[in-house]
Chain A
Amino acid sequence: MTDLTSLTIAEARTGLAGKSFTALELTDAHLSAIEAARVLNAFVLETPDHARRMARQADAKIAKGEGGPLAGIPLGIKDLFATTDVRTTACSRILGNFVPPYESTVTSQLWRDGAVMLGKLNNDEFAMGSSNETSCFGPVVNPWRRDGSDTRLVPGGSSGGSASAVAALLCMGATATDTGGSIRQPAAFTGTVGIKPTYGRCSRWGTVAFASSLDQAGPIARSVRDAAILTRSMAGHDPKDTTSVNRAVPDYEKAIGTSIKGMKIGIPKEYRLDGMPAEIEKLWTEGADWLKAAGAELVEVSLPHTTYALPAYYIVAPAEASSNLARYDGVRYGLRVPGRSIGEMYENTRAEGFGAEVRRRVMIGTYVLSAGYYDAYYLRAQKVRTLIKKDFEDCFAKGVNAILTPATPSAAFGIGEKGADPIEMYLNDIFTVPVNMAGLPGIAVPAGKDVQGLPLGLQLIGRPFDEETLFSLGEVIEQAAGRFTPNKWW
């Protein structure tokens, strides 16, 4: 029998249906892999008993012919998703030992469809970061290494645990969230596929909030097809989230292998940065050529406000974060640090509970929303956001079906290499942030390697609620570029 952990979800589904192995065997294989890979620090909580119980239930259902679309598929869950009776921390000291008495809508839909939870995955504290180095559980290690080097690299962030675990074959897929690139950037850094669906496609209920107008859940997987399978289960209307959209969820898997002949693909000239590594240029050209060879038409497009997306984001996201994180007060849950008065208790709790990056963002957010500065910063940023969205709308109005860009400006970097200058770290998300600002769907697909042997990804940006086109195009890239698996060193 081949190693069960190297199967895709689609392959495992066939194997389970054909009784080649049981869900319990599949889960056990992954639990062993997790145990052997603790050096990666991808999981912050392993839930083996829980996993085996769910796997046995899946086996029973499969035997009766009642297995759901994900019956017996073992997944990792980003620690931002509330899971009933299972510790959920957002990788922040301030949530301490928080054990939710409720389940997030997204995860509840995965369990409804028969998936198995292996454990909770590391992430940047409150999803604020691009390298998974801000987690209170410490950094995650990328299973990829530079050729001939044992330097530990970051897996990207904030969904670094999700990306690392999927790339290292510790789980078949993982949930993730994306506020400015937190699904797509780590996917690109680890040779995995990650999609941020359209804003409103997946419910935000029960997901720890960072910036509510930007946050969106999505999967990280090892193939475009697997990402499509997971997105179908995660998406859907939820009355408990007022921004969740009430429209039917298509069978995204049907988009895999659909012809892209005649599709118009935009290449935005503003994404061609000065000083961009030649290998990123080359990857981008190659991606365009693959789509062209499959019958798509490539057109140059302009998104003139691209350069303003990142600064506008660093007003809007911290502003929303400062408001969302006001709830952590040491009263109802999580950490409490005593003080002589209630005010001092709040201040001590939040000083000790939040890490440096979160404190910085909460303070910036507080400042830009404060009296006298609201108009100059927040209101102006929201106007710029309107312009960023309009750039995309103008482009789609000209018949463009999707936009092709690099996913990141570089491959994965070393742990501790960046971060002294926060702005340098923020620039990682330069290609992904505009998509969140406009609420559009975006997928990152591995497309090649850099000169040091590290994976690089391409991003496809779609029209609102047209994830299907992204899956069709992503599949073409995957077919041309192949899939990417790191050499096991752990």
Chain B
Amino acid sequence: MSVDAATVRRIAHLARIAVTEAEVPHLQGELNAMLAFVEQLSEVDVEGVDPMTSVTPMEMKKRPDVVNDGEIADAVVANAPETQDHFFLVPKVVE
């Protein structure tokens, strides 16, 4: 399988990465090289094989659903590019 230019733009949008028109051909080449490399997996017989979901056999750990941390709003927003009154600020999303 290989991707065309339109697919490259669609993937970039899904990944939320801006790409310029000038970058598309190069990215298309790189993505197709990777897809060609992984193509060899299609020759493996995976009939009846379960997909791996956990590399170490273990039971999913559970913990009590309780508040065990908090009251640290200053620390939570300390690294944010823009904040106001302990809120994260983003560009306007509702007109």
Contacts and interface: CB of A to CB of B under 8 A. Distances in A.
A333 B41 contact: no
A50 interface: no
A245 B38 contact: no
Contacts of B37: 311, 314, 423, 426
A232 interface: no
B52 A385 contact: yes
Contacts of B40: 307-308, 311
Interface string A309-342: 0011011000000100010011111111011111
Contact of B38 (A314, A366, A438, A464): A314
A101 interface: yes
Interface string B23-39: 00001001101110111
A367 B78 contact: no
A421 interface: yes
A345 B91 contact: yes
Nearest to B53: A382
Interface string A449-473: 0000000000000001000000000
Nearest to A439: B55
A101 B72 contact: yes
Contacts of A347: 13, 16-18
B41 A345 contact: no
Interface residues of B, number: 51
A126 interface: no
Contact of B63 (A239, A354, A373, A379): A239
B31 A360 contact: yes
Nearest to A338: B91
A243 to B, nearest CB: 7
A351 B1 contact: no
A332 B42 CA distance: 41
Contacts of A367: 3, 7, 11, 31
Interface string B47-66: 00111111110101101000
A370 B14 contact: yes
A389 interface: yes
Contacts of B5: none
A101 B82 CA distance: 18
Contact of B16 (A343, A381, A421, A426): A343
A332 B18 CA distance: 20
B72 A348 contact: no
Contact of A387 (B46, B88, B90): B46
B37 to A, nearest CB: 5
Nearest to B19: A351
Nearest to A339: B91
Contacts of A364: 31, 34-35
B81 interface: yes
A332 B88 contact: yes
Contact of A383 (B50, B79, B82): B50
A112 B19 CA distance: 46
Nearest to B62: A242
A382 B52 CA distance: 5
Nearest to B45: A387
Interface string A278-309: 00000000000000000000000000010110
B48 to A, nearest CB: 9
A350 B19 CA distance: 10
Interface string A221-257: 0000000000000000001001101000000000000
| 6 A-B pairs closest in CB distance | A439-B55, A382-B51, A333-B79, A336-B81, A347-B18, A351-B18
6 contacts: A101-B78, A314-B34, A331-B80, A351-B17, A363-B31, A377-B38
Given A350-B15, A364-B35, A438-B55, 15 more contacts: A99-B78, A101-B75, A239-B61, A314-B37, A329-B16, A331-B88, A348-B18, A350-B16, A351-B17, A360-B30, A364-B31, A380-B41, A384-B46, A387-B46, A437-B55
